[in-house]
Amino acid sequence: MSESTYKSFKMKFVYSKNFKTKQESAVELFDYVNRWKNWRLHGAWVYKTPEGYKEEFSETCFEGDHQYDTLR
């Protein structure tokens, strides 16, 4: 994890929340990582989500033929 990513994680997740139980923190952590990994806009992909980029890449490169689509 890069230092800037780690800093963002600490600021947005660790320091901004108070958890009552370990289970609550685990569920919140899973949700946070899922949103960050799958739904955040990414500058390298022209500010698309990873899911949006995969979909566009699949349509562009494989022209609807998902036989060779390893991204899904």
What residues does each domain of the chain span? 42-72
10: which DSSP letter?
I
Segment 20-61, tens digit of pLDDT: 999 999 999 999 888 887 777 777 777 888 888 888 877 777
pLDDT band at residue 10 using 50, 70 and 90 as cut-offs: confident
DSSP assignment letter at 36: H
Return the ∠ at Cα 24 (arms to 42 and 28), rounded to 5°: 5
Q: 47 and 41 in contact (C-beta within 8 Å)? A: yes
Better-scored residue on pLDDT, 1 or 5: 5
